[in-house]
Amino acid sequence: MRRILLAALFAAQLAAASPPGAVPSPAAASPPEYSIQAIRLADSPGDAVADMVIGAPKDEKIDSIYAIWLIRGGGRNILFDSGFHRERWFKESTIKDYLSPDQAVRLAGVKPEEVTDVVISHAHWDHMGGIDLFPHAVIWIQREEFRYYTGPAWQPGGDHDGIDPEDVLELVKRNTEGRLRLIDGDDVQIIPGIRAYTGGRHTYASQYLRVGGAPPFVLASDNVYLYRNLTERRPSATFSEADYPANLKSQARMIELAGSAQRIIPGHDALQFQKFPSVGRVATIKAADIK
């Protein structure tokens, strides 16, 4: 009895000692069980595989997709990536059967204003271009990704390929409104049970997520473009060619973090809507249902 009392006292002291926003102690409530859904925004027919799977045959084509991922639990509606809607990209890319991200979340029963958090894997137009459609959400991005694409990327020698200046302005606006959170690097718990990781280097400081659960999943975004990156052990397209080994290393780490390559969800692979049970544009990502 006395031992139980002491343990309770210790737990209470730990809780009292934690600053607000700190990672909960083991004594705190266990993280919520999350549901994960992939929502297809559009098709991208006839893409060159070699642009996504480094070293694949030059003339091989694949029909890929654009998607966002909705994570629900613990009173939150979290989006991983925000899709896109700006005119210019419809001229520059082949985009078919498009649905805007704010309409896409409605298909899963969530109103755009009910989205509480948007975690941005990287600053490219097709991932960060929809943040203005979720007015009440807190936006999460890596601190280094924010720093690079709001500054050095636009200086001589910088690389802002695939970055929309309008998205950058929106990101800065969110910051001035107090609704932006900067994540400090690798292996950081951002929301109970959800951790951010870096090292894939698709962009300057791209990140991916591990969603804890029984079992866990890794949402890779473009750090793994297609399932083929994993099965053929080929790098995904990276910030520079020097990052290919780092990308392969991060793929191996994702397998460890998810416990299986089957539970890594790539950024642009249409197969995720066949591997997992889908209704229309929405696939429910569940371990029991992997085909």
Name the minimum Å distance from CB 155 to Zn ion.
24
Name the minimum Å distance from CB 3 to Zn ion.
54
Choose among 88, 155, 153, 86: nearest CA to 122. 153
Name the minimum Å distance from CB 39 to Zn ion.
15
Q: Which CB, 102 or 126, lies closer to Zn ion?
A: 126
Structure tokens at 175: 């910051």
Sheet holding 188-191, edge to edge: 188-191, 194-198, 207-211, 217-221, 264-266
Q: Which CB, 89 or 244, lies closer to Zn ion?
A: 89
Sheet holding 282-284, edge to edge: 180-183, 138-142, 117-119, 76-80, 61-73, 35-48, 282-284, 278-279
Name the minimum Å distance from CB 121 to Zn ion.
8
Instruction: Give the interface size with Zn ion as a residue count (CB under 5 A).
Output: 2
Q: Is 238 helix (H, G, I), strand (E, B) or coil?
A: coil
Name the minimum Å distance from CB 268 to Zn ion.
6
Q: Is 243 in the site for Zn ion (CB under 5 A)?
A: no
Phi and psi, residue 63, nearest 5°: -90, 110
Residue type, 113: E
Q: Given candidates 117, 145, 222, 243, which one binds Zn ion under the rule CB under 5 A?
A: 222
Whether 255 contacts 264, CB under 8 Å: yes
Q: Which CB, 64 or 116, lies closer to Zn ion?
A: 64
Q: Which CB, 117 or 269, lies closer to Zn ion?
A: 269
What is the CB neighbour count within 10 angstroms for residue 271? 15
Choose among 137, 47, 35, 155: nearest CA to 83. 137
Q: Given candidates 47, 81, 126, 145, which one binds Zn ion under the rule CB under 5 A?
A: 126
Which range binds Zn ion by CB under 5 A, 73-81, 171-179, 206-214, 222-230?
222-230
Q: Which CB, 115 or 226, lies closer to Zn ion?
A: 226
Which residues are at the interface with Zn ion (CB under 5 A)? 126, 222
